[in-house]
């Protein structure tokens, strides 16, 4: 190589200019494809961008609504970038990251990321035992380790054993999400407050995890529109810049059954976080509001450690004293998250991050200018730092 080249940087080069969603419910009559189209068109309208200008798509692999169908349904133009990310909820932030890379490098100009799922009315994925897990199921399923709740439950109990975490710590997480949902009319749990007594007497799903440690089952779809930072300034809302992105698949990681390395409690969050902070202008102490993937409550303490908000083993204690509530050290999942707003593989955490930085959250953190959004911990993951 001769002359030095300028390296393309993603930092603040792109912005989320539009967000959209359908309603969230246990059962919606329309198909995943129809719901996806509704959310995408709403997001484009929010940005003030015509569907014919869309030239990039990014989505997830589970329960696919593919680009061919989506593009022709909404009336997209010629599409020059499209990609899918695997590992369920691990792919949420990666969809935005892939579009950011495409737009920053000139492969496309208007990108759409979306998620449409019918997990409320559709089948539970674990009931299909023919589908292979990332790590072959011969080592886990025959023994009755059937569901994600069981797989994460094993890690949760070990975490409790090693660090003295208690069910009260998990309740702190469930309560913070439920309190925010109670402020959010779009949340499935809007009118359903949670008490400690309800939590402590709830039915078990997989001991040590009870009903309220588990995310919701939701029908719904969401989308966001990504453009260059320059273009975003001409759109309808205050731009929310994509400041830093990362994916994380750690060495010797085994998926959600991550039982076979030196430290199973150090998951993909740690890998994604190292990259995320390396390319950022600020650190964990500067994060005003966090949207942390919450398929299960124990993922929050693990993620708090992984993303550097506290030390190893301190994630449970971090949740004490209202730390995750509005006004606390780190307001969490301010729309209610997967536990209490909707479980749509974490895409609602991205859109809520955008709302917070626009200043339009239903439980607004005053003056929030920075937001961490994460994808599933326990699976190959991804994360975003957003800033206004």
Query: Of 125 and 283, which has the nearer Cβ to other proteins?
Result: 125
- Our answer to whether residue 343 is catalytic in this structure is yes
Options 138, 185, 285, 367; binder of other proteins; rule CB under 8 A: 138
Options 85, 257, 349, 368; binder of other proteins; rule CB under 8 A: 257
Going by DSSP bridges, is the β-strand pair 381-387/240-248 parallel, antiparallel, or unpaired?
Answer: antiparallel
Options 33, 84, 141, 358; binder of other proteins; rule CB under 8 A: 141
Burial of 197 (0-12, 13-18, 19+ CB in 10 A): exposed
- Our answer to whether residue 60 is catalytic in this structure is no
Options 147, 180, 253, 355; binder of other proteins; rule CB under 8 A: 147
Query: Of 216 and 245, which has the nearer Cβ to other proteins?
Result: 216
Query: Of 85 and 149, which has the nearer Cβ to other proteins?
Result: 149
Estimate the crossing angle of helix 92-104 against helix 347-358, to 10 degrees: 60
Q: Is 26 a binder of other proteins (CB under 8 A)?
A: no
- Please give the DSSP secondary-structure letter assigned to residue 190: T
Burial of 73 (0-12, 13-18, 19+ CB in 10 A): middle
Estimate the crossing angle of helix 148-163 against helix 299-306, to 10 degrees: 60
Q: Is 204 a binder of other proteins (CB under 8 A)?
A: yes
**111 DSSP β-pair partners:** 56, 226
Q: Of 94-102, 150-158, 282-290, 319-327, which segment contacts other proteins by CB under 8 A?
A: 150-158
Q: What are phi and psi of 68, to 5 degrees?
A: -60, -50
Options 262, 278, 285, 366; binder of other proteins; rule CB under 8 A: 262
DSSP, collapsed to helix, strand or coil, labels residue 210 as strand
Options 15, 16, 94, 154; binder of other proteins; rule CB under 8 A: 154
Query: Of 145 and 287, which has the nearer Cβ to other proteins?
Result: 145
Options 84, 254, 274, 329; binder of other proteins; rule CB under 8 A: 254
Q: Is 161 a binder of other proteins (CB under 8 A)?
A: yes
What's the token pair of residue 187? Answer: 């949340």
Is residue 113 a contact partner of residue 59, using CB atoms and an 8 Å limit? yes
- Which are the contacts of 184, defined by CB distance < 8 A and separation ≥ 6? 190, 335, 336, 341, 362, 363
- Give me the least distance between CB of 257 and other proteins, in Å please: 7
Is residue 96 a contact partner of residue 224, using CB atoms and an 8 Å limit? yes
Question: Which residue's entry shows tokens 């506290």?
Answer: 310
- Concatenated DSSP letters of 59-128: EESTT---HHHHHHHHT-----EEEEE-SGGGGHHHHHHHHHHHHHTTS-SSEEEEEEEETTTS--GGG-
* Active-site residue identified among 87, 163, 199, 343: 343
Q: Is 294 a binder of other proteins (CB under 8 A)?
A: no
Q: Is 249 a binder of other proteins (CB under 8 A)?
A: no
What's the token pair of residue 19? Answer: 């967000």
Query: Of 137 and 317, which has the nearer Cβ to other proteins?
Result: 137
Q: Is 201 a binder of other proteins (CB under 8 A)?
A: no
Q: Between 83 and 122, how does the x/- string for binding to other proteins read (CB under 8 A)?
A: ----------------------------------------
Options 67, 150, 305, 325; binder of other proteins; rule CB under 8 A: 150
Largest CA distance in the chain: 68
Q: Is 135 a binder of other proteins (CB under 8 A)?
A: yes
User: If residue 371 lies in a helix (H) or strand (E), which one and from where to where?
Assistant: strand 370-374
Q: Is 313 a binder of other proteins (CB under 8 A)?
A: no
Options 78, 252, 366, 367; binder of other proteins; rule CB under 8 A: 252
Q: Is 130 a binder of other proteins (CB under 8 A)?
A: yes
- Give me the least distance between CB of 108 and other proteins, in Å please: 35
Q: Of 35-43, 109-117, 147-155, 287-295, which segment contacts other proteins by CB under 8 A?
A: 147-155
Q: Is 79 a binder of other proteins (CB under 8 A)?
A: no
Q: Is 275 a binder of other proteins (CB under 8 A)?
A: no
Question: What gap in Å lies between CA 173 and CA 339, rounded to an integer?
Answer: 9
Is residue 173 a contact partner of residue 377, using CB atoms and an 8 Å limit? no
Question: What gap in Å lies between CA 123 and CA 137, rounded to an integer?
Answer: 19
Q: Is 194 a binder of other proteins (CB under 8 A)?
A: no
Please give the positions annotated as active site: 293, 343
Which residues contact other proteins (rule: CB under 8 A)?
124, 127, 129-133, 135-147, 149-150, 153-155, 157-158, 161, 203-209, 252, 254, 257, 259-262, 264
């Amino acid at each position: 190589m001769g002359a030095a080249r300028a390296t393309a940087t993603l930092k603040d080069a792109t912005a989320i200019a539009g967000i959209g969603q359908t309603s969230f419910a246990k059962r919606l009559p329309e198909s995943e494809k129809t719901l996806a189209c509704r959310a995408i068109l709403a997001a484009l309208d929010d940005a003030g961008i015509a569907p014919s200008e869309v030239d990039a798509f990014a989505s997830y692999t589970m329960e696919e609504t593919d680009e061919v169908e989506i593009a022709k349904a909404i009336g997209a133009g010629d599409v020059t970038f499209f990609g899918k990310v695997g590992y369920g909820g691990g792919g949420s932030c990666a969809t935005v990251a892939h579009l950011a890379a495409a737009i920053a490098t000139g492969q496309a100009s208007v990108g759409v990321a979306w998620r449409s799922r019918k997990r409320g009315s559709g089948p539970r994925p674990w009931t299909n035992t023919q589908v292979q897990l990332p790590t072959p199921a011969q080592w886990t399923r025959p023994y009755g380790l059937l569901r994600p709740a069981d797989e994460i439950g094993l890690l949760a109990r070990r975490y409790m054993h090693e660090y003295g975490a208690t069910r009260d710590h998990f309740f702190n997480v469930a309560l913070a999400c439920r309190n925010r949902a109670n402020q959010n009319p779009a949340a499935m749990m809007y009118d359903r407050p949670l008490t400690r007594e309800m939590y402590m007497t709830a039915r078990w799903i997989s001991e040590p995890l009870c009903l309220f440690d588990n995310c919701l089952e939701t029908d719904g779809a969401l989308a966001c529109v990504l453009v260059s930072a320059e273009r975003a300034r001409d759109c309808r809302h205050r731009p929310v810049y994509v400041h830093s992105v990362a994916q994380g698949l750690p060495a010797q990681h085994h998926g959600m059954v991550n039982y076979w390395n030196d430290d199973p409690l150090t998951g993909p969050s740690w890998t994604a976080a190292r990259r995320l902070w390396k390319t950022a202008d600020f650190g964990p102490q500067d994060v005003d509001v966090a949207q942390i993937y919450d398929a299960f409550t124990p993922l929050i303490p693990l993620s708090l450690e992984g993303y550097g908000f506290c030390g190893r083993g301190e994630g449970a204690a971090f949740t004490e004293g209202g730390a995750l509530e509005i006004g606390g050290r780190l307001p969490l999942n301010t729309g209610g998250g997967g536990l209490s707003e909707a479980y749509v593989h974490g895409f609602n955490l991205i859109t809520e991050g955008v709302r917070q930085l626009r200043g339009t959250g239903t439980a607004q953190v005053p003056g929030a200018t920075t937001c961490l959004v994460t994808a599933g911990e326990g699976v190959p993951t991804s994360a975003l730092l957003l800033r206004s």
